[in-house]
Structure 1
């Protein structure tokens, strides 16, 4: 990754939010590194050096700024970095993979040799895998100390340190601070409501994102109230399963999403926040996407891909929703959750009751169990075949999977065609160029009747056709609403 110093300094001087998270600036006169949007007085050009990652800045002896807090910077999207494999590995590290694994297991997870992974990492981030992992652990711990009242012991464990003593030693060595020095607040009640701000690059079409999910919300699993999205979560980590809930609200004044996690997810905070980032597409660069889409994006800038907290869930939703209405699909999915999902403990808010069934749970169901939930015989067989592949590890449906290979593998499952495979690639894998070209609504709004005509019409939007699909679906809904309003009889008074 090449950083042009002049361009970087202009971004720092103008506090340009398009570059937030794209690089970090080390300031020799203070010994700290900052985000390009830091509100402190702009440092002199001769005191600035620029780094591809927070880890690279720390490797060169800089400490994180306590004002702009580098740990709050937005991350990278899949298409941002030329080395997709390096980014997949970095995302896994961000979500706590190295707390239990090694560099070798990480390389195996993304399908490369350990030596190749080391080369990729050094080229993309300017640091080794272990250096990057250590920085991410420290930044997460710093965030937990600043934003929650979790005991230091729980902070150390949640951040992936094996012991409090090691955590204290590393924190003192790298940052010259103790946990108590970093702790800003510990108000009563904070510990049982874990609240985090996740930054994004503006604009963010929040209402459009929320409307897309609200249309498809499943009772007992999701709820939308007063512009806030809530849902249940199931997180597998360290050989254990953790269940809980998350609340997401938009704070446009601060350009963040405020995320509240239930206390039951305290041990899996990095994994839970990773799921939220994918769900909300927080790695998106709307300036790049909207510029490429042109007129299509003008009416609604900042559209995000509605992602997923679990790729298997998206695949199930896609299969169940084939050739039936959204209302019917929601009813069936709700019945599946009641039958095979895990019930949440305590009193979750707003009617949240179950997690979405895992692949392992669906794979062990008899076909009649799926039929009892309203799934047709053909779809039941497809879901069982899909669940078995995901449960035994022969099919991965997450953001780290290779899109082209995953789409091909999905098509091999009887009952899954191109529409379903592309929809899964778009929402579960976050593939920005996925496009379900046989979709009725997309063909209707574009006025085309053949697949070939669809490909010719949409080629101009590659490699951002998934974002184009979201825009087109919103246009289709607007067309339907307009037609419905026009069909209403006039009221005679």
Structure 2
């Protein structure tokens, strides 16, 4: 869209917040870039250029507006939908792959050369993978500087910078302020915890998310108290704990981590799990156009599709939950968490009664299917899955090819189309999966006089339609994991 100057300018004139994060407005006369909804005086058409990413605006020499703070907008919803290489790359960059494995690691996961990946990203987003990752780091640093009392040295490494000097230079380049100037007169106080505010797009149906999370709690690993969901995390550099408090207009995210380098990754996974980068206006507009769904959308605008922080966990819980209730599946898994999971000793975990991280693939890979407290065939499926993930033959990360993963899952014994589709929807945040073989959904479709072919008009948001239909039948407790 950013190449359509007239359309972009109209969005800026109307201060349309729906386009925040979709493109960025750079003003030549001031040297700053803004979100389309910036409340400042609208610049003249000839004085603005439009960019597809914050990184592109920064590479063009513009600094972030201090008034509208364009880097605090939810991420572009486009990356949730797209299954091409650029979409996959953006999901991987958001998950911190460049910081952990470099551009080479990103390219290897995508199956292309570094040069080709860089060229594709630059052509579409105006910036290569390094610039995009640098922009993400600068944003993470700003959030930590302004919302925590962490020492600057801790913030530098928590945001993913390799050195204090790199941290200072990047922050000054993006914001035209030093880290100390951004913080003002507040002093640093090492607290061991990080609390940040996560932006959301409106409308935001927090109650529906909480309903879903409550119905699927695995004791010891996660819990819900009032409006706060807390859980233990398995992260690249060690375990951690997050507590997410859902408000009407934002989510408060409190973290306690074994390694501060995982801060940005943990925040990204929290956003993905709660589907905070979705475009609810676009989703609701498509779905409400169908008279068969109009009443559901009107009753629950801004409904999200909960994803997850751990793809392997979703897959295991879905398999265990085959043909049993959520409570029954959690009873079975509850026996494995203390024996195979990693025990944690964080104050935040203790305050919520959390004790363990969900078992890693390696913990299940050596298990005896006959001694797993479930049908032997189901235990065998979990062991096969764990071995495939542990060996790197199956990846359940954000940037994988979703259709290829589905094919891999269906090819495994004990995993059918329903299970594979559900895992792809939840673990890989696929927005366009409708579980038409699900008994509850099938009955609801029949009740509304809808055939499978009729649901094609809900593309590319069929996952959201499914959540509305499940909610309509009060069937959250009958869905797995």
TM-score normalised by structure 2 residue count:
0.91
> 1:299 and 1:209 mapped to 2: Cα distance?
15
Q: CA deviation at 1:404?
A: 1.2
Which of 257, 274, 277 aligns to 1:280? It is: 274
> 1:456 and 1:53 mapped to 2: Cα distance?
37
Residue 183 of structure 1 aligns with which residue?
A: 183
Give the match's secondary structure for 2:149: coil
Residue 263 of structure 2 aligns with which residue?
A: 269
Render the CA deviation track for 1:165-196: whole Å, top value 9, x for unaligned.
23223444554432211224746767333111
| Contact 1:146/1:185 (<8 A) preserved | no
The 3 A distance-change label for structure 1 pair 184 and 203 is farther
Written as runs of structure 1 = structure 2, the 5 A alignment for 1:196-275 is: 196-236=196-236, 240=237, 242-252=238-248, 255-275=249-269
Which runs of 5 or more residues in structure 1 are unaligned?
Answer: 482-493
Written as runs of structure 1 = structure 2, the 5 A alignment for 1:294-313 is: 294=288, 295=294, 296-313=296-313
> 1:83 and 1:457 mapped to 2: Cα distance?
23
Written as runs of structure 1 = structure 2, the 5 A alignment for 1:316-465 is: 316-347=316-347, 348=349, 349-371=351-373, 375-447=374-446, 455-465=452-462
> 1:32 and 1:62 mapped to 2: Cα distance?
5
> 2:48 and 2:190 mapped to 1: Cα distance?
37
* 2:21 is aligned with 1:21: yes
| Contact 2:79/2:87 (<8 A) preserved | no
The 3 A distance-change label for structure 1 pair 78 and 410 is farther
Written as runs of structure 1 = structure 2, the 5 A alignment for 1:74-93 is: 74-77=74-77, 84-93=84-93
Which runs of 5 or more residues in structure 2 are unaligned?
Answer: 289-293
Written as runs of structure 1 = structure 2, the 5 A alignment for 1:2-151 is: 2-77=2-77, 84-151=84-151
> 1:438 and 1:207 mapped to 2: Cα distance?
27
> 2:240 and 2:104 mapped to 1: Cα distance?
31
The 3 A distance-change label for structure 1 pair 187 and 95 is farther
Q: CA deviation at 1:43?
A: 3.2
| Contact 2:64/2:174 (<8 A) preserved | no
| Contact 1:191/1:263 (<8 A) preserved | no
| Contact 1:149/1:185 (<8 A) preserved | no
Q: CA deviation at 1:323?
A: 0.5
Give the match's secondary structure for 1:33: strand
| Contact 1:96/1:159 (<8 A) preserved | no
Paired residues in the alignment total 470
TM-score normalised by structure 1 residue count:
0.89
| Contact 2:244/2:252 (<8 A) preserved | yes
Give the match's secondary structure for 1:208: helix
Residue 476 of structure 1 aligns with which residue?
A: 473
The structure 1 segments of at least 4 consecutive aligned residues displaced by more than 6 Å after TM superposition are 187-190, 478-481
Residue 490 of structure 1 aligns with which residue?
A: none
| Larger RCO (CA within 8 A; separation ≥ 6) | 2
CA RMSD of aligned residues (A): 2.5
* 2:161 is aligned with 1:165: no
Render the CA deviation track for 1:404-451: whole Å, top value 9, x for unaligned.
1111110111110011000001101111112222111111222279xx
Residue 489 of structure 1 aligns with which residue?
A: none
Q: CA deviation at 1:368?
A: 4.4
